[in-house]
A and B are shown apart, each in its own frame.
Chain A
Amino acid sequence: MKIRLEKSLAPNRTSQTAVPVIAVLLALVFCGLFLAATGRNPFEVYGAMFSGALGSEYGISETIVKTIPLALCGLGVAVAFRMQIWNIGAEGQFYMGACFATWLPLSFPELPFSAMIPLMMLLAAVGGGFWGLVAGWFKTKWQVSETITTLMMNYIAILWVNYLVYGAWRDPQGLNFPLTAPFPEAAMLPAFGTLRVHYGIFAVLLLAGVLWLMFKSSKWGYETLVIGSNPSAARYAGIDIRKNVLMVMFISGAISGLAGMVEVSGIVGRLQPGISPGYGYTAISVAWLARLHPLAIVMVAFLFAIIHVGGFMIQTMGIPSAAATMLQGAILFFVVGSEILTRYEIKLKAKEEVQND
C-alpha cells in the first residue's frame, strides 16, 4: 500500500468547511498535550479560558472589545489579499488612522459630537488609506514588493506616533507620561451602559456586510477577483490593474485606519504608545483562516478574541498568558497545514497500481 495525494478536481464544499474545524480541534488537542506535560489539566485550563471569555457579562464585553479592532483590520487586509496584494501593513495603517483621528480633538476640542466623530472617522480613513497608498504607489511605479514596504512602514508609523506622544502632542498636565491629553467627551464613541463595548461594533457589522455584498456582486469585487486570479486575463479584458492596485491599497489601509480611530475613541480615550498589541498582524491570520470571507472574518476575530481574553483569565491559575498565544499559533499552524487537504484527496493505492501509474 502506498499513500499519495491527488489533486482533487472539484474543490469539495464539505471538506472546505470540515477541514478547518477539525484543524482547530487538533490544535486544541496539541496544546492540551503540552499543558498536560506541564502538569495542568487541559480541560480545566480550556474551561477556565472559555468561561473567562464568555462566562460573564464582563468577559463577553472584553471579548467583543478585542473582536472589534481584529475584525476591522482583518476586513482591511482581506480587501488587499483578495487581489493577491500582500498588504501586511495593517498595524501601521491602524496607527496612522489613530494618529490622524487624534489630531482633531487635540486641535479643535470644542467641536460637537455630531461633527467630531464623523470627521475623526474620515481623517482616520484618509490617514490609514494614505499609508497604504504609498506602498501601492511604489508597487505600481517601480514594482516594489508591497510586502516589504508595508512591513517597513509599520515601524515608521509606530515610531511616528511615539515621536508625537513623547514630543509635540504630550499632555502638559500628564506628569511627563508619554500620553496626549485625554479626549473631550464629544470625541468618545458611546459605549453600551457601563460596559466597555462601544459603538465601534456597528462599524464592524456594517463593513462586513457591505464588503460581503461588494465581493459577491459588485463590478469592483469582480474586477479585483479577476486581477487576483489571473492578471493577464484582467489586462486582456481591459481592466485597469494600476488603478485597482492604488484603490485597493487605499481602501485596505482606510479600513485598518478606521480600526485605529475606533480603538482610541472607543477605548483608550487618548493617543499613547502601544495602542495595538499587534492587532494588525493577528488580523492577517484572521483573514487567512476566514478564507477572506467578510462574515467569516468577524467570526474568526471573535474566536481569536476569546483565546486572547481567556489567556488573561488563566493567569490567575498561574499559567502564563503565553499559553493563549501558543494556542493561537497552533490553530494557525494546523489550519494552514491542513489547507492542502481541501485541494487534494488522500488516495490509498495498492502496490501494482503504483507501478504502472
Chain B
Amino acid sequence: MGVTPLISMRNIVKRFPGVVANDQVNLDLYAGQIHAILGENGSGKSTLMSILAGLYRPTEGTIEIQGTEKRINSPSDALACGIGMVHQHFRLIESFTVAENIALSKTGGSFLLDEDEITVEIKALGEKYGLTVDPDAYVWQLSVGEKQRVEILRMLYNDSRVLILDEPTAVLTPQETRELFSNLRNMADNGCAVVFISHKLNEVEALADRITVLRNGRVTGSIGREEINQSKLIEMMIGRDIITAYEKSDPPGDEPVLVIENISALNDMNTLGLDRISFNVRAGEIYGIAGVSGNGQRELAEVIAGLRHTLSGSIRFYGEEIAGMSPKDIITRGVSYVPEDRLGMGLVPRLSSCDNVILKEYGGAKFSQGSFLKRDAAIAETNRIVKEFDVRMGSIHQPVKMMSGGNIQKLLLGREIASQPRLMVVLYPVRGLDIGAIESVHKLLLQLKDKNTAIILVSEELEEIAKLADRVGVIFSGRILGEFPVSRMDTEKIGALMAGIVEDGGAK
C-alpha cells in the first residue's frame, strides 16, 4: 500500500512476570479503515491495544505515528497523539452529567469551563456521527448503549483519529449493536481509523475492512475484507490440531452421574449467559466443553458449584437435585470446581499453602476439632499434597502468590483431587502453563478419571479436548450446539459450531 499508515506498531513484545502477552506483533492502522483484532480471551488483544492507548509500556518494539516514532508513556500521551480507547468497563463518573464527563477528559483549553459551549459542541458531534445522547443527562440515568456512546463522543471531542473499542458488543443488545456498527462505519468514512477488538467471528465478518488474528500473543494472520473465509479465520484463531490421544480407559458404565436439563442463568452483565443448556456426564468420563471463552463456560461451572442462581431447569447429581443448594452443601456432596481464575477465586493469594489447602475442608473433622483448627493435620496434608503432586515452593508457610503459575495450579488441583471428588468441573486447566506443567496436569486429570470421577473439562484448545475427553460438547451463546464422541470428532465442524454456525440441521 502506498499510503503511510496512521499508526504502525513494530515488533511489539510485552512481558508480564511469567507470561509473554505479546510476542513480536506488527500492526498497521489506516485512516478510513475498520480494523478488527480477532482472537480468543487471553490471546493478547487487549494488552496490545492497551499499549497503544498508553496504559502499558511495551517491553520491546516501537510505535510510529504517521511515519514518525513516538513514545506513548501515558493515556494522556495517547490522547495527545489522537488515540482514544473505549474500555470494556466504562470509565465514566456516574454522578456527573454527560457534558461534565466529556469536559473532564478535555486536554488543554482554558481554566474555566464553558458548559454551554461544550453542550453545543457535543450536540453537533452527536449529529455528525449519529451518536445521539442528551448532554445534560446524568450518566447513571443512561443505558449501557448510551454510556458507550458517551465514551465514543469523548474520544471524538478530543479529536481522536484512532478509536479503539475493546469488545464493544459484549454489553449491547442486537439492536444497539447494529446502531454501533453503522456509527463506526460513519466514523471510518470521516477519516478515523477504527480498531475493533472481538472474539466473535460473525461481527468481525460484518464490519471489518481488515482482520488481524492473534493467538497466544502472536499474529497468526492478517487478511483483507475480500479474503475473509470463516474456516480460515477459525484455523488462525484456534490453530491446526495435531490429534494425539493419551492412553485412556473407557468409562465403565452408562449411568449418568450428573444430568443437566434446560438450565438458564444470567451472566454478570444481567443478560442470558446460559440458555436452556442440557447435557449429562457419566462416572469415569471426561466430558469436554469446547467453545470460544465467554460463551457461558464460567456461568455453567458456577451454576454447578452453586455460586450462581439458575432461572430454570434442573441439575441432578446422583439423582439428587442440587440446583439451589448452597456452595457448601454442594462441596460436601463431592463436587469440586477448579476455577479459571486460580488466585482470584480458587486460592487466597496472601495466605500460605497450608492455609489454602484447608480452604474447603477447614470445617470438617479432617482439619478441625470443635471450634479450633488442627494445624498439625493441615501441615501434614499440605506436605503430602506437595510431595504427591510435585508442587515446588520455598516453604508451605509462604504466601501462595509467590509461587509460579504451574505450581499454583498443581497445588489447586492437588487440593481438589485430595478431597476425592465424585465430580470435578475444571476450567482451562493448562492456561498459561509451560509444556512440562501441562503434561503433569493432564496426567492428574486422567488419573482422576481412572478413579471413576466424572470430569467436565472446559477448554478452548481442541487439541486438549481431543487428548483427554471421551465426549465433546460445543458451547455457543450458552447452549450446547453439538455433541460428539471424541473418536468421531471433526475439527472443522466443531470449529464452525464454535463460531455459532449450524448447518442444515446437522447439529442438534
Interface flag for A225 (CB, 8 Å): yes
Q: Give Cα A220–Cα B370 distance, bound, in whole angstroms.
A: 11
Chain A contact patch, size range: 20 to 34
Contacting pair A238 B402 (CB below 8 A): no
Interface flag for A226 (CB, 8 Å): yes
Q: Give Cα A187–Cα B372 distance, bound, in whole angstroms.
A: 36
Q: Which A203-221 residues have a C-beta within 8 angstroms of B?
A: 217-220
Which residues does A use to contact B, with CB under 8 Å? 9-11, 217-220, 222-223, 225-226, 229-230, 232-233, 235-240
Q: Give Cα A281–Cα B360 distance, bound, in whole angstroms.
A: 37
Contacting pair B328 A218 (CB below 8 A): no
Q: Which B356-394 residues have a C-beta within 8 angstroms of A?
A: 358-360, 362-363, 368, 371-373, 375, 394
List residues of chain A with CB within 8 A of the CB of B362: 219, 222-223, 237
List 4 tightest A-B contacts by C-beta distance, closest first: A238-B328, A238-B327, A230-B348, A229-B350
Contacting pair B348 A233 (CB below 8 A): yes
List residues of chain A with CB within 8 A of the CB of B359: 226, 233, 237
Q: Shortest CB–CB separation between residue B343 and chain A, in angstroms?
A: 8
Please tell me the number of chain B residues within 8 Å of chain A, measured between CB atoms.
33
Contacting pair A236 B402 (CB below 8 A): no
Q: Give Cα A232–Cα B368 distance, bound, in whole angstroms.
A: 23
List residues of chain B with CB within 8 A of the CB of A229: 348-351
Interface flag for B47 (CB, 8 Å): no
15 new A-B pairs (CB below 8 Å) besides A10-B398, A233-B347, A238-B329? A9-B402, A217-B372, A218-B373, A219-B363, A225-B355, A229-B348, A230-B345, A233-B344, A233-B359, A236-B307, A236-B345, A237-B362, A238-B326, A238-B331, A238-B360
List residues of chain B with CB within 8 A of the CB of A218: 371-373
Name which residue of chain A comes closest to B373, CB basis: A217
Contacting pair A232 B344 (CB below 8 A): yes
Count of A-B residue pairs with CB < 8 Å: 71
Interface flag for B305 (CB, 8 Å): yes
Q: What does DSSP make chain A's interface, helix, strand, loop or mixed?
A: helix
List residues of chain A with CB within 8 A of the CB of B348: 226, 229-230, 233
Name which residue of chain B comes closest to A221, CB basis: B373
Interface flag for B58 (CB, 8 Å): no
Q: Shortest CB–CB separation between residue B306 and chain A, in angstroms?
A: 8
Contacting pair A230 B350 (CB below 8 A): yes
Q: Give Cα A232–Cα B402 distance, bound, in whole angstroms.
A: 20
Q: Which B313-336 residues have a C-beta within 8 angstroms of A?
A: 326-331
Q: Shortest CB–CB separation between residue A301 and chain B, in angstroms?
A: 26
List residues of chain B with CB within 8 A of the CB of A230: 344-345, 347-350
Q: Which B131-181 residues have a C-beta within 8 angstroms of A?
A: none
Q: Give Cα A217–Cα B368 distance, bound, in whole angstroms.
A: 10
Q: Give Cα A236–Cα B347 distance, bound, in whole angstroms.
A: 9
Contacting pair B351 A219 (CB below 8 A): no
Interface flag for B196 (CB, 8 Å): no
Contacting pair B371 A220 (CB below 8 A): yes
List residues of chain A with CB within 8 A of the CB of B339: 236
List residues of chain A with CB within 8 A of the CB of B346: 233, 236
Q: Which B389-411 residues have a C-beta within 8 angstroms of A?
A: 394, 398-399, 402
Contact of B351 among A225, A239, A240 (CB under 8 A): A225
Contacting pair B402 A222 (CB below 8 A): no
Name which residue of chain B comes closest to A225, CB basis: B351
Q: Shortest CB–CB separation between residue A357 and chain B, in angstroms?
A: 10
List residues of chain B with CB within 8 A of the CB of A9: 402
Interface flag for B476 (CB, 8 Å): no
Q: Shortest CB–CB separation between residue A245 and chain B, in angstroms?
A: 16
Name which residue of chain A comes closest to B356, CB basis: A233
List residues of chain A with CB within 8 A of the CB of B375: 217
Q: Give Cα A233–Cα B372 distance, bound, in whole angstroms.
A: 21
